[in-house]
Amino acid sequence: MKIIADTHCHTIASSHAYSTLMENVHEAKAQGLYAIAITDHARTMPSPPGTWYFENFNVIPKSIEGVNVLRGIEANVLNSEGNLDLPDLKGKFKFDWIIASIHDIAFKGNKSFDECTKTWLKIAENPLVHVIGHSGLPDYLYDYEKVIPVFGEKGKLVEINNSSFKIRKGSHENCKKIAIICKKYKVPIVVNSDAHFCMQIGRFEKAIDMLEEIEFPEELIVNSSNERFNAYLKKHTCFFQDM
């Protein structure tokens, strides 16, 4: 199984990551990746990049050293109404790639099963969101059978996050269940590193091992081929505009 793009990566702008944008791009090139997404955290995380960091994204080329670079953000889900902390850029920039994720430090909603189900259903309705980030968190269980088909209907990619197998205790089995239900309902996924250091870019071993174990169909992995990835970008994002 080959993954051609890493679409969840952080830079020193996130303050708890350790590599620059260019170091991440260099590593993506070294790993033979077709594309990378820079998805630094939105404002509710500690010491986040300011709004003007995102407003100035236009200075970053869409291709650097032969690697396509998506200018993105990892937005925090704030509450059970599905509100996100996306910055108001007042039309100055439109993100190529938006991940919506729950983090303990930012989420102020109810963590019950029913409320988390409601939360993700609200996120599914948000037309700005492309990716459902690391949703296998054991403290935020939701009704996978009910919600995942809606993600598919609304064009959201369900993320299988390699870092969840390493740092998010209790996530492994939930990620597996999520992947099995995505397979059942033919809901596309995206496999990401969630890199916070450049040497994690393009490393997906744990995620791939799990997907191979359950015989997950490669045609449902959006970033497993240039053609599938480009088709998603053209249909759901603004990446190819002005290129």
d(CA 5, CA 8): 9
Q: What share of the chain is helix, strand, coil (3-state, %, to 5)?
A: 40, 20, 45
CATH code assigned at 27: 3.20.20.140
Tokens coding 173: 């089995």
What average pLDDT is seen over the chain? Answer: 97
Q: What is the mean pLDDT of residues 69-92?
A: 95
**pLDDT (average), residues 178-207:** 98
Could you tell me what percent of the chain has a pLDDT over 90? Answer: 96
Cα gap 137→26, rounded to integer Å: 31
The pLDDT of residue 66 is 98
Contacts of 94 (CB under 8 A, 6+ apart): 238
* pLDDT at 196 > cutoff 80: yes
Q: Is the pLDDT of residue 230 over 80?
A: yes
**Residue 29, in any domain of the structure:** yes
Residue 176 lies in a domain: yes
161: nearest Cα among 202, 207, 130: 207
Domain boundaries, position 145: 5-236
pLDDT in tens, 213-229: 999 999 999 999 999 99
* Per-residue confidence (pLDDT) for residue 192, from 0 to 100: 98
Q: Do the domain assignments include residue 242?
A: no
**Count of CB atoms situated within 10 Å of the CB of 108:** 11
Q: Nearest-CA neighbor of 36 among 239, 243, 242?
A: 239
**DSSP strand pairing (35-41 vs 67-76):** parallel
Give the Cα separation of 87 and 43 in Å (integer).
8
Q: Stretch 139-153: mean pLDDT, rounded?
A: 98
Is residue 161 assigned to a domain?
yes
Task: Report if residue 219 sits inside a domain.
Answer: yes
In the chain, how many domains are there? 1
Read off the DSSP letter of residue 47.
S
Mean pLDDT of 148-171: 96
Give residue-wise pLDDT tens across range 91-132: 888 999 999 999 999 999 999 999 999 999 999 999 999 999
Write down the pLDDT at residue 224: 98
Q: Does a structural domain hold residue 39?
A: yes
| pLDDT, tens only, 38-64 | 999 999 999 999 999 999 999 999 999
Residues composing the chain: 243
- DSSP code of residue 77: B
What's the whole-number mean pLDDT along residues 193-214?
A: 98
Plot region of 66 (φ>0 → left; ψ -120 to 50 → alpha; else → beta): left
Task: State residue 92's pLDDT score.
Answer: 81
Look at residue 148 and tell me whether its pLDDT is greater than 80: yes
The predicted structure's pLDDT at residue 91: 81
